[in-house]
């Protein structure tokens, strides 16, 4: 997979060079590049924003530097050799909600491009023009407001790249995470078995794998029902067994 990030604050994306994602790059599992649209601004002041038509507060990002930046990364990417056009993910409070299912969808793509808008957003004509070149997906992390897309890109890039085969050391750990199978993950414990007069649940010390698996599933169902009842209602009943229904 190749990931390109377009941002006028490229230093914001430095954390992507660390840890698992940085190792995926050095292991050749991922190509990562950051491009600054400001370097494509042609005027003396390298202008990337201006006041909004129709008035209102704030500034809007001019379309041309973004279009030139996108064209430059399209030339550097897999291009025609790719099975389908790249996906341009545009972090936005007005986007579809990013979920684990979306993360799996994006992890299957050959070329992802993230456009980190700031201020009041990017001129809509850039997105309209880009939709003729790539698949455009405005994407929200949730119903709250950020100052720009960079933080959202850090989160989405981590959620996506960890799903690429070989990036996570033990792929089994992906199977029991929150949101895998539609449930939140169960609580976890480690040594010491007694800590500040608090014990580890005795089932986990029993060595009885069947009882432990049942305890894990019960905890997932109880925690999900308590913290995210919306996820319980979204469950496919076919995935529940008789013991689940007794929880």
Which residues make up the interface to ligand J9Q (CB under 6 A)? 91-93, 117, 140-142, 144-146, 148-149, 152
Smallest gap from Cβ 19 to ligand J9Q, in A, equals 22
Nearer Cβ to ligand J9Q, position 136 or 152?
152
Residue with Cβ nearer ligand J9Q (88 or 141): 141
Residue number with CB closer to ligand J9Q (127 or 183):
127
- Judge contact between 113 and 139, C-beta under 8 A: no
For the record, the structure tokens of 65 come out as: 């530097």
Query: Is residue 153 a contact partner of residue 46, using CB atoms and an 8 Å limit?
Result: no
> Residue 148 Cβ, how far from ligand J9Q at the closest point, in Å?
5
Minimum Å gap between C-beta 32 and ligand J9Q is 20
- For every residue of 90-110, DSSP letters joined together read EEEEEEEEP-HHHHHHHHT-S
Least gap, CB of 25 to ligand J9Q (angstroms): 24
- Cβ proximity to ligand J9Q: between 101 and 202 the closer is 101
Query: Is the separation of the CB atoms in 224 and 231 below 8 Å?
Result: yes
Instruction: Count Cβ atoms within 10 A of the Cβ of residue 11 and give its class: 0-12 exposed, 13-18 middle, 19 or more buried.
Output: exposed
Tell me how far, at minimum, the Cβ of 109 lies from ligand J9Q, in Å: 20
Q: Which is nearer to ligand J9Q, 123 or 204 (CB)?
A: 123
Instruction: Kindly provide the b/e burial profile for residues 88-125, where b requires at least 16 CB atoms within 10 angstroms of the residue's own CB.
Output: bbbbbeebeebeeebbeebbebebbbbbbbbbebbbee
SS3 (DSSP) at 82 = coil
């Amino acid at each position: 997979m190749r990931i390109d990030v377009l941002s006028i604050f490229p230093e914001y994306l430095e954390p992507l060079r660390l840890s698992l994602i940085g190792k995926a790059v050095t292991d050749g599992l991922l190509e990562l590049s950051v491009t600054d649209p400001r370097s494509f601004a042609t005027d003396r002041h390298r202008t990337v924003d201006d006041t909004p038509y129709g008035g209102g507060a704030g500034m809007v990002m001019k379309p041309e530097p973004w279009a030139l930046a996108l064209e430059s990364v399209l030339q550097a990417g897999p291009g025609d050799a790719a099975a389908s056009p790249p996906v341009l993910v545009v972090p936005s409070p007005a986007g579809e909600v990013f979920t684990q299912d979306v993360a799996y969808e994006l992890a299957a793509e050959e070329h992802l491009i993230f456009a980190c808008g700031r201020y009041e957003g990017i001129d809509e004509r850039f997105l309209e023009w880009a939709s003729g070149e790539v698949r455009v997906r405005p994407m929200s992390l949730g119903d709250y407001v950020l100052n720009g897309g960079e933080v959202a890109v850090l989160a989405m890039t981590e959620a996506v790249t960890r799903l690429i085969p070989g990036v996570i050391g033990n792929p089994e750990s992906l199977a029991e995470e929150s949101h895998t199978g539609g449930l939140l993950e169960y609580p976890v414990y480690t040594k010491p078995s007694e800590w500040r007069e608090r014990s580890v649940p005795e089932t986990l010390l029993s060595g009885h794998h069947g009882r432990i698996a049942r305890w894990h599933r019960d905890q997932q169902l109880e925690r999900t029902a308590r913290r995210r009842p919306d996820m319980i209602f979204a469950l496919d009943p076919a995935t529940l067994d008789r013991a689940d229904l007794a929880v």
